[in-house]
Amino acid sequence: MSDESRPHRTAAVIPAAGRGVRLGPGAPKALRALGGTPMLVHAVRAMARSRAVSLVVVVAPPDGATEVRHLLDEHPLPGGTPGGSWGRTDVLVVPGGETRQESVRAGLDALPADVTSVLIHDAARPLVPVETVDSVVEAVRDGAPAVVPALPLADTVKEVEPGRPGEPEPVLGTPERARLRAVQTPQGFDLKTLLHAHETIAVSGEGATDDAGMVERTGVTVVVVPGHEEAFKVTRPLDLVLAEAVLARRRATDAY
């Protein structure tokens, strides 16, 4: 079968192996509660809400795969069964690595051969709306090899010469704000394109803070679709306060 005539199968990989140092002491960030439910469970549900996603691979803390499996079994999707299914979505759990890049790679390695496109979604973005997920999937299915959701910036951004913490840092320049976007997840890819980037960039030893950045370095064009304010990343303590407020509002206004 040629690549063009192969049926699409989209999977989501959720890197959830980080510690959450910036959030402060406690359990690994993805396992911390948001509205009484682990953040990771919200993130898995956010992917599974998309009808396009039939498989979710969760990348657990290196020594936490069994705990994460139990936790997911205790929190099935609406329509799934406790200790059993997540409805029509399969959920695999694999152990992660020391860096986000290694964790994503572990998730990619677990994908079955019939997957053609993949979403990479931070466990730390538990509240991304399904409309954002679907618009990324649609752009990939329409032929874009790499797609990121992103928002315009509210703040002006300065490039600086980084100094010691607390010391004034010289400003090197002010990029034109209208050309800047703050990038979110899920980021969507043609699977072969992303695998090639992971192989190439890992071999050359360069780091990358997001997957699209790695694809860019291979010379492939990445496109942006509109992100969503509620797809923000829970990074610092104030983000958790905001996430609790957004979740409480959703629960009060719909059957979330």
Ligand X SMILES: C[C@](O)(CO)[C@H](O)COP(=O)(O)O
Ligand Y SMILES: Nc1ccn([C@@H]2O[C@H](COP(=O)(O)OP(=O)(O)OP(=O)(O)O)[C@@H](O)[C@H]2O)c(=O)n1
CB of 27 to ligand Y, least distance (A): 11
22 binds ligand Y (CB under 6 A): yes
Site string for ligand Y, 195-234 (x = CB under 6 A): --------------------------------------x-
Would you say 68 or 212 has its CB closer to ligand X?
A: 212
With CB under 6 A as the contact rule, the residue among 61, 91, 210, 220 that binds ligand X is 210
The Cα–Cα gap between 228 and 212 comes to 18
209 binds ligand X (CB under 6 A): yes
Would you say 117 or 185 has its CB closer to ligand X?
A: 185
CA nearest 123: which of 249, 250, 235?
Answer: 235
Binders of ligand X in range 59-118 (CB under 6 A): 100
Query: Given the DSSP bridges, would you call strands 146-152 and 159-160 parallel, antiparallel or unpaired?
Result: unpaired
Binders of ligand Y in range 112-171 (CB under 6 A): 122-124
With CB under 6 A as the contact rule, the residue among 122, 144, 146, 247 that binds ligand X is 122
CB of 79 to ligand X, least distance (A): 29
217 binds ligand X (CB under 6 A): no
**C-alpha torsion angle, residues 166, 171, 175, 177 (rounded to 10):** 50
Would you say 77 or 230 has its CB closer to ligand X?
A: 230
25 binds ligand Y (CB under 6 A): no
- Residue numbers of the site for ligand Y (CB under 6 A)? 15-22, 29-30, 59, 96-100, 103, 122-124, 233, 235
- Residue numbers of the site for ligand X (CB under 6 A)? 100, 122, 183-185, 209-210, 233, 235
